[in-house]
Structure 1
């Protein structure tokens, strides 16, 4: 019986010599997945890497993925290396592109810079001594100059570089360079013999030059059988602090050889639908909608395993139009006046997947389908169905939405079966309940909540231009000053208020700022403005009498009525 300690790992760990890696990159045996970002290192970082290599310091592990004969990703060569052409690489680099590109360019003399070692910085000729790494002034010992593309640049390089600067790209012929160097310096200074100098510099070679060829980089190699979802997870883990590389990038590379360029499709979608830009829709969401339409699932494993280039060709356009159309509907009919008030981005996916079916209906039949889709939106928000297991919930909802939204028959999505939100839960909910919080702000916008100053209704334009945001009705500072056990951060103590009004309110008692508003535009208008925010405004109200608890109870009743109106369901009573 094989113990866990004796079982084979999922990857092979084999150190590889730097010279071998450079040779294989040049021979197109090692390449990059096409979705990898471009080479971005500057010369300073390459100099630091060379310093670590010649000092034989750790420079991190590389991660490679073996490529078999089956379907693989589109690949490209390293920057400066020969183009792949029809060559199929044996391995793709998943982690280590920047380091390998920097070393390849330095050691082969390609790229925008050329790198040199000033050999005199590594030795003490008078003492016949090769310095230890901590004694070397690496600011002078490792330098770079721009590749000379003009005679002027070539002259500048010559002025900067002395005869003791050894080109890193000539690492394989150091001894020939050394012979010329020693001949040069002994021709003008016979203080030391050529034999003595060559012996000293060869010891320096063994300590600092040889590692540029023999340094062993630790390499983890994933087998060709590694599932694509595992590769995706690895990428997301490795790139959390950099540019994320997720399923969309992986599938972009997979479909490219099949004539489907996801990157171009996405750029076209962004150009055609401003809503996708404004709401920062992730292109992966489009793939999830496509997967829903093709296979009834939004799970990542199904997106990665089941989706084909043919599925993209068939459903991409419909999914893009669907998600953009849903955003437009939510803005115009459901009070979504700003992207930050979208309760669940995941809701766009099943709604967007069914959108195309609605467009196939006769124009007069679409109104009822839109109404059902909006009811589904509100019920999903106020049941908080997408707080956990959103991918699974999207699949379950889409399975029912397809028939129910279009015909009104069949089993409705589970969010419409009941509304497991009680009045007491809503009364005590804080702004940390994101879906309820966003849902309430959208709900207020549907009631044409009016600006406290001008009486104008909230619109997406005014929310941005006038800086309308969610602010406290009972000011936080006022509640802190007057005491009480109720939190100031309850949902019911928030509404959409412009920045100027919020500055005027500051820490005033509600009765004080209400009086100022009434003096500005009269009691009747004040009552209209407050009513549009689901706030009771007569003289006996909790707001008018600075009674926070009474205000919360009063507003709860009005908000419950609004929720029941848009969901078509009754809240539970406790």
Structure 2
């Protein structure tokens, strides 16, 4: 039989036979396969298809001869028997993994049941279907009892049966009749009548009829699962590894597409004989900080594409030299580590605070050609600072981001290759051309929204406030990756206060990241009083003033923002007039600080907080005197 004859004719195989193969360890996955990916709705959907005996698509196998063509791994949670492998599963992993794990019912976050409506005796329990259906019950651990999970009833047969639920693992193929009988006995034991009950015999006969009906329902479902047909196509032993990979990619591309990362995994396996999964896992194990900035898999691939002169998009990644990707892995990893350290020095520690994502691959690909020390490193990092902050504060990456990142990277590397260059040369990098990509005005800064959302300008403003340390109001710790885990987005002028006057409160300039020390509802209060009530800060005014300054907040302005008269809150037009004036002044002051800082940083320079405050004071004096500031 030729490869065309064998691979084009689907063959039948029951789930019972698939189960035997998995149990024996004779069927495995090539390591280039993506990992388990289905969520609970997809798992439940497939299981419903099985118990309703509906048709499903075919799987794809590669027959294994004397030696496996690919390094392989077992299906998730299947026994690692070490027995001879006869088949590699090229397509169908998600279905067979869902089937195997459901038959063990070993998912950590959920338990699967079959709902049998005729046995449901409990109303208003959230389990109510018209027909026999697979039900997924969410589970979570009990803190005080390791190994046990909530809800507790989900592990008690009687409580399950009264809801019409039977654990789906009772449908497992094989000789499990004894286990089924034990579960039925446990689930119905409390229904047995007392020996001295007046109608004990009648009750017992009724119970036996119920048990027999349950037994029949389960046996019918077990038969249906065991004999359910999951057909397969098969590539013969003579199929080369290259052809098998090509078939794998084509099948996945034409039906349910793989991600570009999944396709690259297969290409790396085919070309370089290496596992991209293993390379990435090893990198993450050595440098966990790389995982703080989002999906590392895509950043790895787009950085590698730029390093090879390709665009950081699907087309560029797909056209990479996979042998070179593996060969250059150490250089790629080092470049990304240097990028993470560079971002940390700018006080940008995670994806949630990163204004725009394309900068990661561009900076990393630049670091791949930047020396580790010396004057050249200093010049290069000044250029990268200018690039980073210009990307944050301009509209450069609000459209065609991959194309523009490619252009910026090309211009950056051309400058870096010269060795000697200065600020006058920056204009050759598109994002640094202020005529095409100007920095925002104070009015634009004042309109930026809440930085918790993925708003570039809002996050850029927050990034500037974090740049100066953003010491916590309570404990005085500077911002760091760990301290950010406990901080929350705080309205400096309280939301309730501004809403009362009909003023928009959720603006980036009205935001500070601080650690709450209380969950009490504070309500409408003056800004400084609100902070004092939400945060247990020190009583030393000088210390409080310093900490506020690191967030670019003015202690005196907040202290003067009071909205009481004779011990009572002012309201109505009087409140709106005073609050609008105070809030506008607050926004203008903070916008001026952000504008000045952004200008310095986008030039690639570094600036200390004292310098920034001095610049702002000088500018204010000059403006008051009618002088034009540069």
What residue is the counterpart of 2:54 in the other structure? Answer: 58
Please give the secondary structure, in 1, of the residue aligned with 2:539: helix
Change (3 A) 1:562 1:351: same
Q: How does 1:429-468 map to 2 (within 5 A)?
A: 429-431=448-450, 432=453, 434-453=455-474, 457-464=478-485, 467-468=486-487
Q: Match for 1:491 among 508, 523, 529?
A: 508
Cα RMSD of the aligned pairs, angstroms, is 5.5
| 1:435-471 deviation per Cα after TM superposition (whole angstroms, max 9, x unaligned) | 222222221122233433455543444444xx33331
Please say if 1:347 is aligned against 2:356.
no
Q: Match for 2:344 among 331, 345, 350?
A: 331
What residue is the counterpart of 2:446 in the other structure? Answer: 427
What residue is the counterpart of 2:334 in the other structure? Answer: 321
What residue is the counterpart of 1:119 in the other structure? Answer: none
Please give the secondary structure, in 2, of the residue aligned with 1:352: helix
Change (3 A) 1:551 1:263: same
In 2, distance between residues paired with 1:478 and 1:387? 34
Please give the secondary structure, in 1, of the residue aligned with 2:56: coil
What residue is the counterpart of 2:12 in the other structure? Answer: 17
In 1, distance between residues paired with 2:275 and 2:234? 30
Change (3 A) 1:502 1:475: farther
In 1, distance between residues paired with 2:531 and 2:35? 56
Please say if 1:298 is aligned against 2:297.
no
In the TM superposition, residue 21 of structure 1 has moved relative to its aligned partner by 12
Please give the secondary structure, in 1, of the residue aligned with 2:274: coil
TM-score normalised by structure 2 residue count: 0.57
In the TM superposition, residue 499 of structure 1 has moved relative to its aligned partner by 1.6
What residue is the counterpart of 1:561 in the other structure? Answer: 596
| 1:47-68 deviation per Cα after TM superposition (whole angstroms, max 9, x unaligned) | x96x976x7721533465999x
Please say if 1:510 is aligned against 2:509.
no
Gaps of 5+ in 1: 1-11, 106-132, 149-153, 162-206, 237-244
In 1, distance between residues paired with 2:98 and 2:483? 49
What residue is the counterpart of 2:492 in the other structure? Answer: 473
In the TM superposition, residue 526 of structure 1 has moved relative to its aligned partner by 5.0
What residue is the counterpart of 2:570 in the other structure? Answer: none
| 1:55-103 deviation per Cα after TM superposition (whole angstroms, max 9, x unaligned) | 7721533465999xxxx98767877899998989796446633378699
What residue is the counterpart of 2:626 in the other structure? Answer: none
**8 A contact 1:451–1:457 mirrored in 2:** yes
Please give the secondary structure, in 2, of the residue aligned with 1:284: helix
In 1, distance between residues paired with 2:375 and 2:588? 42
In the TM superposition, residue 416 of structure 1 has moved relative to its aligned partner by 0.8
Please say if 1:412 is aligned against 2:428.
yes
| 1:466-490 deviation per Cα after TM superposition (whole angstroms, max 9, x unaligned) | x333311101112123x13x31101
Larger radius of gyration: 1
Q: Match for 1:357 among 362, 369, 372?
A: 369
In 1, distance between residues paired with 2:513 and 2:102? 56
**8 A contact 1:32–1:97 mirrored in 2:** no
| 1:21-67 deviation per Cα after TM superposition (whole angstroms, max 9, x unaligned) | 969x97x999755324479999xx99x96x976x7721533465999
Please give the secondary structure, in 2, of the residue aligned with 1:562: helix
TM-score normalised by structure 1 residue count: 0.62
**8 A contact 1:298–1:394 mirrored in 2:** yes
| 1:266-299 deviation per Cα after TM superposition (whole angstroms, max 9, x unaligned) | 2221222131244455223212211111132211
Please give the secondary structure, in 2, of the residue aligned with 1:445: helix
Q: Match for 1:375 among 368, 386, 405?
A: 386
What residue is the counterpart of 2:112 in the other structure? Answer: none
In the TM superposition, residue 300 of structure 1 has moved relative to its aligned partner by 1.6
What residue is the counterpart of 2:620 in the other structure? Answer: none
In 1, distance between residues paired with 2:89 and 2:173? 33
In 2, distance between residues paired with 1:562 and 1:318? 33
Please give the secondary structure, in 1, of the residue aligned with 2:514: strand
Please give the secondary structure, in 1, of the residue aligned with 2:330: helix
In the TM superposition, residue 518 of structure 1 has moved relative to its aligned partner by 11
In 1, distance between residues paired with 2:225 and 2:285? 50
Please give the secondary structure, in 1, of the residue aligned with 2:540: helix
In 2, distance between residues paired with 1:88 and 1:519? 68
In 2, distance between residues paired with 1:211 and 1:281? 38
In 2, distance between residues paired with 1:38 and 1:502? 39
What residue is the counterpart of 2:97 in the other structure? Answer: 98
In the TM superposition, residue 410 of structure 1 has moved relative to its aligned partner by 7.7
In 2, distance between residues paired with 1:512 and 1:414? 46
Q: How does 1:537-552 map to 2 (within 5 A)?
A: 537-538=555-556, 543=561, 546=579, 547-552=582-587
In 2, distance between residues paired with 1:232 and 1:209? 35
| 1:500-527 deviation per Cα after TM superposition (whole angstroms, max 9, x unaligned) | 38969763212645899999323x5555
Please give the secondary structure, in 2, of the residue aligned with 1:534: coil
Please give the secondary structure, in 1, of the residue aligned with 2:586: helix
Change (3 A) 1:559 1:249: same
In 2, distance between residues paired with 1:395 and 1:261? 27
What residue is the counterpart of 1:109 in the other structure? Answer: none
**8 A contact 2:29–2:72 mirrored in 1:** yes
Please give the secondary structure, in 2, of the residue aligned with 1:358: coil
What residue is the counterpart of 2:300 in the other structure? Answer: 286
